[in-house]
Structure 1
Amino acid sequence: MNTNSVQAASAGAISSEIHKARFVAVLLGVVMLFMAGFSQSASFHNAAHDTRHTLAFPCH
């Protein structure tokens, strides 16, 4: 009986960690998108130029 409760708690903890990892990944992606999208640096602009046009993100 104790084994089952430990496994259930472990599965819940793993699910929680997966949600945290997804949130961090999405947040990082959004931050990177806006850093490249609104940066005035030519190097960022050139690195992200084709992606901007692919996503219909204005750059000029």
Structure 2
Amino acid sequence: MTSVKTLSGSLAQAAGSIMAVMAIGVTLMFVAGHAQSATLHDAAHDMRHATGFPCH
């Protein structure tokens, strides 16, 4: 019974970590995608096209 609790706890922790990383990634994509700064635009330009994010 203990191993089941440990396993489910590990899975819940892994799922939480995955969700946190996804949230950070989506936030970075949103910020870079809507940036008005020429430097940020130039830095993210190729990645925007690679992911299909319209920028012009």
1:42, CA displacement in angstroms? 1.4
Q: Which runs of 5+ in 1 are unaligned?
A: none
Q: What secondary structure does 2:36 align onto?
A: coil
1:57, CA displacement in angstroms? 1.5
Instruction: Provide the residue aligned with 2:4 in structure 1.
Output: 8
Instruction: Provide the residue aligned with 2:48 in structure 1.
Output: 52
Normalising by structure 1, what TM-score?
A: 0.83
User: Which residue type is aligned with residue 27 of structure 2?
Assistant: V
Deviations 1:4-39 (A, max 9, x none): x11111001000001101111111111000000001
Q: What secondary structure does 1:40 align onto?
A: coil
User: Which residue type is aligned with residue 6 of structure 1?
Assistant: T
| Structure 1 runs of 4+ with >6 Å offset | none
Normalising by structure 2, what TM-score?
A: 0.88
Aligned length: 56
1:56, CA displacement in angstroms? 2.4
- Rg larger in structure: 1
Q: Distance in 1 between matches of 2:27 and 2:40?
A: 14
